[in-house]
Amino acid sequence: MKPVLVIGGGITGIQTSLDLANRGIKVHLIEKTSSIGGVMSQLDKTFPTNDCSMCILAPKMIECSRNENIKIHTMSEVIEIKGEAGDFKVKIIEHPRSVDVEKCTGCGICSEKCPIKVRSEYQSGTGYRKAIYLPFPQAVPLIATIDRTNCLWFSKEICRICEKFCPSKAINYDQVETISEIEVASIVLAQGAEAFNPEVLTEYGYGVYPNVVTSLEFERIMSATGPFNGQILRSSDKIKPKKIAFLQCIGSRDSRVGNSYCSSVCCMYAIKEAVIAQEHDPNLDTTIFFIDIRAFGKEFEDYYTQAEKGNKIRFIRSRISSIEEIPETKNLEISYESNGEIKKEIFDMIILSVGLEPPKELNNFSLSIDLKLNKYGFVQTENFSPVDTSLPGIYVAGVLSGPKDIPDSISQASAAAVRAASNLRIEYEETNYSIYQEKNVEDKIPRIGVFVCHCGTNIGSVVDVPSVVEYVKNLPNVIYAEENLFTCSQDTQKKIIHLIKEHELNRIVVASCSPRTHEALFQATLQEAGLNPYLFEMANIRDQCSWVHMHEHEKATQKAKDLVRMAISKARLLKPLTKPVTNVTQSALVIGGGISGITAALEIADQGYLVHLVEKEGELGGNFKKIKYLPSGDDPEKFLKNLKSQVSENKNIITHLNSKINSIFGYLGNFESVISKDKETTRIKHGVVIVATGGLEYKPKEYLYGTPGIITQLEFEELLSKSYKPESIVMIQCVGSRCEERSYCSRICCTGAISNALKAKELNPDSEIFILFKDIRTYGFKEDYYREAAEKGIIFIRYDDENKPEVSNDGKIKINVLDPVLKQKLVINPEVLVLSSAIIPQEDSKELSGILKVPLSKDGFFLEAHMKLRPLDFATEGIFLCGLAHAPKTIDECISQALGAAARSITILSKKEIETEGVIAIVDEKICCGCQLCLNVCEYNAIEIRNIEGKMRSHIIPEICKGCGVCAATCPSGAITIGHFTDDEILSQIKNAFKEVIA
């Protein structure tokens, strides 16, 4: 089976590689710099959860380096691609590191000794590195590189100091570039984007005024691993700024620089940077100057509201035309218009929210293979095939095809993985679970290693980490304890493995973030060191300590000590556990037959797995049936017709129309569901579930909806398709969105309204069209439609919550609205009033969430496992989601997510058997009296009664038990306990909660 080539080692390329590798496909991952990680590795925090960016990225980077199916080529570039889908020949050039990768240990002594300082790319130029350097502490692989342009040996033939000091003799000045050729079946492009360089906009003085920085530079300035170790300082005088401003749309929505598109992410990252900067200094005065705030993603609007109302960040709607520096203070003056007045204001520091541009080398690369780019130079994709490029067998994901945020990039990454696999003839090898030899330490005296994480400044700025380490060193059985800047980084994993061997540690405690995100990473480290993964315990001193007691340093430190002591007390008692292996039912259940469900079902079926597609209505299509036009000109009706015929022709798809889900039981790889149609029920078995139940158009209670001539956008679209040509039209945006009842933005209504307005204008060029809006959120390339609408004479009038449009309808529609520019009330009498109403969750979401035992978000949409890095997974393994069930989104985004959910599903379906959780119930048959109380409380029928030497005793069926522990809490004789949560372990945590108690 031929491998797949993934170009670009950012978060997108990493996710694509993992989704391919986890279904047994070999991957070559090409990265031009010396480490994978991309731009996400440079970010301090991520919106809207304020997660520490490196903390959530590092486990994925390490997973990538550990995966045997992924070959990472750093310092490498693709120089030639020949052949066709299924059979590409690719030439790769690997630039010399001048360091032997086999010998380098990443100790960093070389950089310490190197005399040459160079501006660091990782720090976006805000800090320095040496001529021989490790790009950042968590780099993967953690191997030094000599930058030959700046190295004294390569430029002047002197020095060679690194060679003298390298303890492992890894320096090799004679390395040359190597060119290799590989054969691959498909190629995924994920080279990312670049930040706009604002030097060309000389009016902002970037590069001249030291206190004008870009948003990426500010990201580094805020970071614990940044130039000032997490302190926000001005470059000019290293003093903390008291008043800062963000200027939005620098290099975006600006035709002067050729970037008329919106960069999609800058509003949110600016709000995030403003919020985080205030976390550093609660008295910081922060202003964001913007055109429209585009907080269109899942729970973004709440984040924006919280920033404005909670954090008191000032938002001023004004595009700033220039910055003047005050030479004496290096402060910065700007002028802006507010309420018709020109105001001047001085700031200590100004951050330019720079947009995204395609990578510079993309143009030449595209020419060399005849790849189609769009007019802005990003890789061209189509609405209905969002990850396919113009070349068969070559796919694209992430920001290379246009600006988007991390979750959207991740969805596309998974989507590209499944598309790339469609060119392979899949032959799977048997899964081999026990690649690591496990030492038997069960009866050994506990020798505990404790690692306490600073998490940059996330923990360290609140909790006194060194004192926690000192404290735990004195606890019994603790053989070794240390602090780490980031315990999750790859070099720390290596160190932990080394220390386990050196000190013969047999239990490990990590005090850092949440086991929900990081337990798996550390468990894999234990396995690599030959320890059973369950000999591990975490103390959550970040999410549940430093982040929630930010202003109580002493008490937070005491709590951290207590939590670590509790974890250590549990660790003393930990026992190795075995993961049961079960067979996988290699078929999928897809719930919902809209565009998302159909797409997911087709992709899974095409790759050889049986799919049950369940639709509650009598025909497939869902909301997509109501879509008549797309602003791109694509024909939705034709596309749907084609999809439906593909479904009916596909032998791997069983469609259940007019059907609903009655129940779903089981677990990863082994679900059993009951589907009902009229009074008949069908029982099906499947290995995974995809929730693609869609959403609904809100039927407005506002603005006299339902009275003659007042309709929704979908209803208007239907009329337009029947050649309705009104003379005058008013559209009102945010009807039922961004309001008290529903705080979220419905994401698609701005583009939807403009699309319908353009269609109406096309049908009747003389029609008069007004769009009343709060912010126009035509993100990405959709900005083109907004511009086109304005050019075609469609009139946009802004309203705010204090001055909502007033509507009356006595057979004649009358709308009163305040024109914010003229400061006058306008009266409009349109023929039709079109309400851009919200997208709301499907009515039966709550019921389905109960059946599946998966959560809903506060807005009623399904809640994924992690908003940033796991947008398509539920926390429960084997269940996935996509489309409007997740949150409002456009058709291409639904298709990306659906393909992505298919990719995630196939990582399970491709296996004949799979390991399940090792945390399950254990019966002590000597104590069990056979009363059978446990039988009644087990919801899974995982307990059976066996005759053991003539006595009836409970027995747990390991593959079925889910480890909830209800039986253990019920057993009157204390015969049942739960692995990793035994009575003794929990009791020792209780005993140690406030004081040291050694049982």
Partner 1 sequence: MTDFEPKIIGFLCNWCSYAGADLAGVSRFQYPPNMRQIRVMCSGRIHPSFILQAFKEGADGVLVAGCHTPNDCHYISGNFKTERRVAILKKLLEQLGLEPERLRLEWISASEGEKFSKTVLEMTNELRKLGPSPIKEE
**8 A C-beta contact, residue 177 and residue 93:** yes
Cβ closest to partner 1, residue 316 vs residue 986: 986
**What secondary structure does DSSP assign to 653-713, as a single string?**
EEEETTEEEEEEEEETTEEEEEEEETTEEEEEEESEEEE---EEE---SSTTTTSTTEEEH
Q: Report in angstroms how near the CB of residue 902 gets to partner 1 at its nearest.
A: 25
State phi, psi for 646 to the nearest 5 degrees. -60, -40
| Residue 970 makes contact with partner 1 by CB under 8 A | yes
CB 900 within 8 A of CB 415: yes
Q: Between 327 and 972, whose beta carbon lies closer to partner 1?
A: 972
> Taking CB under 8 A as the rule, does residue 460 contact partner 1?
no
Nearer to partner 1 among residue 582 and residue 876 (C-beta)? 876
Contact status: 544 vs partner 1 (CB under 8 A): yes
Q: Is 545 one of the binding residues for partner 1 (CB under 8 A)?
A: yes
**Adjacent-strand bridge partners of 347:** 332
Cβ(884)–Cβ(747) under 8 Å? no
Name which position in 419, 542, 628, 656 contacts partner 1 (CB under 8 A): 542
Least Cβ distance, residue 558 to partner 1 (angstroms): 7
DSSP, collapsed to helix, strand or coil, labels residue 952 as strand
If one asks whether residue 933 binds partner 1 (CB under 8 A), the answer comes out as: no
* Residue number, 661 or 734, with CB nearest to partner 1: 661
Q: Which of 51, 491, 717, 893 binds partner 1 (CB under 8 A)?
A: 51
Closest CA to 175 of 153, 195, 192: 153
Given 70, 573, 627, 863, the residue binding partner 1 (CB under 8 A): 863
Q: Which two tokens stand for residue 605?
A: 């079926």
Residue with smaller CB distance to partner 1, 466 or 850: 850
- 855 is a contact residue toward partner 1 (CB under 8 A): yes
Gyration radius of the chain's alpha carbons = 30
Task: Pick the closer one to partner 1 by CB: 319 or 553.
Answer: 553
Does residue 467 touch partner 1 according to CB under 8 A? no
Q: Does 282 bind partner 1 (CB under 8 A)?
A: no
The SS3 of residue 732 is strand
Tell me, rounded to whole angstroms, the distance of Cα 357 from its chain centroid.
21
If residue 452 lies in a helix (H) or strand (E), which one and from where to where? strand 448-453
Instruction: Select from 151-159, 162-170, 746-754, 960-968 the region that touches partner 1 (CB under 8 A).
Output: 960-968
- Asked if residue 965 binds partner 1 (CB under 8 A), the reply is yes
Instruction: Compute the C-alpha angle 798/801/807, nearest 5°.
Output: 75
**At its nearest, how many Å lie between partner 1 and the CB of residue 582?**
18
Min separation Cβ 874 and partner 1, Å: 10
Q: Which is nearer to partner 1, 454 or 542 (CB)?
A: 542
**Nearer of residues 128 and 994 to partner 1, judged by Cβ:** 994
359 φ/ψ angles, rounded to the nearest 5 degrees: -60, 145
**Residue 985: CB minimum distance to partner 1, A:** 10
849 binds partner 1 (CB under 8 A): yes
Query: Smallest distance from the beta carbon of 514 to partner 1, in angstroms?
Result: 5
Using the rule CB under 8 A, is 993 a contact of partner 1?
yes
Strand 4-7 relative to strand 186-189, pairing: parallel
Q: Does 562 bind partner 1 (CB under 8 A)?
A: yes
Size of the site for partner 1 (CB under 8 A): 60
The first and second tokens of residue 12, run together, are 């997108």
Q: Is 595 exposed, middle or buried (0-12, 13-18, 19+ CB in 10 A)?
A: buried
| CA–CA separation, 214 and 353 (whole Å) | 6
> By three-state DSSP, how is residue 866 classified?
strand
Q: How many CB atoms neighbour CB 394 within 10 A?
A: 25
* C-beta closer to partner 1: residue 462 or 908: 462
User: CB of residue 548 vs partner 1: minimum separation in angstroms?
Assistant: 5
Pick the binder of partner 1 from 922, 929, 937, 945 (CB under 8 A): 937
State whether the Cα torsion 94-99-105-108 is positive or negative: negative
Between 285 and 877, CB nearer to partner 1 = 877
**Site membership for partner 1, residue 672 (CB under 8 A):** no
Of 676 and 876, the one with the shorter C-beta distance to partner 1 is 876
- Residue of 508, 455, 460, 459 whose CA lies nearest to 486: 455
HEC string for 343-371: EEEEECEEEEEECEECCCCHHHHHHHHCC
Asked if 555 is part of the footprint of partner 1 (rule: CB under 8 A), the reply reads: yes
Q: Judged by CB under 8 A, which of 528, 966, 984, 996 binds partner 1? A: 966
User: What is the rounded CA–CA span in Å between residue 929 and residue 877?
Assistant: 35
- Shortest distance, CB of residue 742 to partner 1, whole angstroms? 15
By the rule CB under 8 A, 856 interacts with partner 1: yes
Select the residue interacting with partner 1 from 121, 281, 543, 672 (CB under 8 A): 543
919 near partner 1, rule: CB under 8 A:
yes
State yes or no: residue 520 binds partner 1 (CB under 8 A): no
Residue 863 is classified by DSSP as P
d(CA 617, CA 693): 11
Q: Does 968 bind partner 1 (CB under 8 A)?
A: yes
With CB under 8 A as the contact rule, the residue among 129, 404, 549, 782 that binds partner 1 is 549
What is the C-alpha separation between 51 and 48, in angstroms, rounded? Answer: 8
999 sits near partner 1 (criterion: CB under 8 A) = no
Q: What are the strands of the beta sheet with 659-667, ordered from one edge?
A: 659-667, 670-677, 680-686
- Separation of alpha carbons 657 and 613, rounded Å: 8
Residue 177 CB, nearest approach to partner 1 (Å): 44
The residue type at 905: S
Which element (helix H / strand E) includes 266? helix 266-280
Degrees to nearest 5, angle at CA 476 with 471 and 479: 80
457 binds partner 1 (CB under 8 A): no
Contacting range for partner 1; rule: CB under 8 A; set: 165-173, 195-203, 423-431, 511-519: 511-519
Considering only the stretches 229-237, 817-825, 882-890, 965-973, report the one whose residues sit in contact with partner 1 under the rule CB under 8 A.
Answer: 965-973
Of 519 and 915, which CB lies nearer to partner 1 in the complex structure? 519
Among 314, 701, 812, 846, the residue binding partner 1 under the rule CB under 8 A is 846
Instruction: Please report whether residue 31 would count as binding partner 1 according to CB under 8 A.
Output: no
Among 182, 857, 877, 948, binds partner 1 (CB under 8 A): 857
How many CB atoms neighbour CB 836 within 10 A? 28
In terms of CB distance, is 81 or 869 closer to partner 1? 869
Q: Using the rule CB under 8 A, is 551 a contact of partner 1? A: yes
Locus of tokens 């991952």: 29
Q: List all residues 6 or more positions away from 187 whose beta carbon is below 8 Å from its beta carbon.
A: 4, 5, 6, 7, 81, 88, 90, 393, 394, 395, 420
Nearer to partner 1, 359 or 580 (CB): 580
**Chain contacts with partner 1 (rule: CB under 8 A):** 49-51, 279, 514-516, 540, 542-545, 547-552, 555-556, 558-559, 562-563, 566, 846, 849-851, 853, 855-858, 863, 875-876, 919, 937, 939, 962-966, 968-970, 978, 981, 983, 986-987, 989-991, 993-995, 997
